[in-house]
Structure 1
Amino acid sequence: MSAARFTNVAPNTQMTPQAPLRHPALPVPARRSAAGLVLGAATVATALMAGVFFSFDVAVMPGLGRGDDRTFIGAMQNINVAIENPVFFLAFFGALVLTAVAAFQQRRLGRRAVFGWALASVVLYVVALLVTMGANIPLNDELAKAGDPAHIRDLAAVRDKFENTWIALNMMRTAACTVAVGCLSRALFLHGRGDAGTGSR
């Protein structure tokens, strides 16, 4: 066999491996679905807390305000004890945890707009937590230390020290949580949009 038959082969031809195909960085459907569920749960939990605070603003405190000093102090002491239950704590702390997880998931998915709204909700809810733990709870503790209303000498002074300040602080919590719900609702809306990518607003 003649060597001339092989002269058509280009001498410098080299077989190079093909570079792997790069696929667009699209979120995995399962991850998106899970992130949507967490975002929805965060919205519900935060809305529940906003509702709890709102009910104090429009019903509980106005109703107690119509009673005498002994009734007001005794009722608030009982409410502060009764509210410390697993269901309340599940919503109270769950709202923060779920919202933080939701923000983290959206960041991992590269959805900056959704992440921004979820992060704003985290900040607002932290404000509500700080008001609760730094002001409302200490007021509740002082009211509890006052003891049995039947044995308090100056009921009016104890009530005056507690009532108006607690109500104003609770309104702050209501406002922070309500705006947080709005932020989460916006995040949930953007998450549900098919085009809610990195640049969506």
Structure 2
Amino acid sequence: MPRVVTGFAVMSIVFCGAIFGFFYAWVCSTMWGLDQADPRVAIAAMQAMNASVRNMVFFPAFFLTPAILGLTAILTNLKGHKVSACWFASATGVYLIFGLFLTLTVNVPMNKALSEIALPDDVETARKIWRDYSQRWQFWNQARTAASGIALAFAGLGLAKL
């Protein structure tokens, strides 16, 4: 198999793994840790993390994953690897809809709304704000984590079928 196709297939797995790992870390530690903190601290910490995540380290994994997957699907198809192309195309679709689009339409607006909240002095007010935010945010984060994991698995199947 040509090195370009192999290179793109491996790059697809690396990019899918990076974004899956990013979302997964929020599932298994970050949000649970924030849920255990003083809700005023949790709100302030989440506001700071959301403001800092838009950076050049995060950008490639989040935004370029579907482009790399799509290019890999095209290349594998052009080289006659139809089954692999289907797996990479499926990975592209799953991540685009349930990873990228879901994040941009659900998690990002929630983060923006949280960023506009003035940190309350009252712990009970903060607890209500945090509980409402955290429960909904975690549900949607688990959905995008699962989708990113599925995209990673599909990319792995695409490489295995080359």
TM-score (norm 2): 0.93
Q: Does 1:114 align with 2:84?
A: yes
CA RMSD of aligned residues (A): 1.7
8 Å Cα contact 1:125/1:180 also seen in 2: yes
Q: Does 1:56 align with 2:26?
A: yes
The residue type paired with residue 47 of structure 1 is G
**Higher helix residue share:** 2
1:110–1:102 distance in 2 versus 1, CA, 3 Å:
same
8 Å Cα contact 1:131/1:173 also seen in 2: yes
8 Å Cα contact 2:63/2:100 also seen in 1: no
- Once the two structures are TM-superposed, the CA of residue 106 in structure 1 deviates from its matched residue by 1.1
Deviation track 1:124-153 (CA, whole Å, cap 9, x = no partner) reads 101211110010000000000103455999
Correspondence 1:91-170 to 2 at 5 A: 91-126=61-96, 127-150=98-121, 154-170=125-141
- Once the two structures are TM-superposed, the CA of residue 35 in structure 1 deviates from its matched residue by 1.3
Partner of 2:146: 175
Consecutive unaligned residues in structure 1, runs of 5 or more: 1-28, 192-201
1:149–1:100 distance in 2 versus 1, CA, 3 Å:
farther
The residue type paired with residue 6 of structure 2 is G
SS, match of residue 86 in structure 1: coil
Q: Does 1:186 align with 2:151?
A: no
- Once the two structures are TM-superposed, the CA of residue 77 in structure 1 deviates from its matched residue by 0.4
| Greater radius of gyration (CA) | 1
Consecutive unaligned residues in structure 2, runs of 5 or more: none
Name the CA distance, whole Å, in 2 between partners of 1:143 and 1:149: 12
Correspondence 1:66-81 to 2 at 5 A: 66-81=36-51
Q: Does 1:42 align with 2:31?
A: no
1:160–1:37 distance in 2 versus 1, CA, 3 Å:
same
- Consecutive aligned runs of 4 or more in structure 1 exceeding 3 Å deviation: 148-153
SS, match of residue 147 in structure 1: coil
Tell which has more relative contact order, 1 or 2 (C-alpha 8 A, sep 6+): 2
- Once the two structures are TM-superposed, the CA of residue 65 in structure 1 deviates from its matched residue by 0.7
SS, match of residue 115 in structure 2: helix
Deviation track 1:29-56 (CA, whole Å, cap 9, x = no partner) reads 6xx2101101110110110100011000
SS, match of residue 146 in structure 1: coil
Name the CA distance, whole Å, in 2 between partners of 1:129 and 1:57: 17
- The aligned length equals 161
Name the CA distance, whole Å, in 2 between partners of 1:100 and 1:76: 32
Name the CA distance, whole Å, in 2 between partners of 1:153 and 1:63: 18
Aligned-pair identity (%):
24
Name the CA distance, whole Å, in 2 between partners of 1:37 and 1:87: 21
8 Å Cα contact 2:20/2:145 also seen in 1: yes
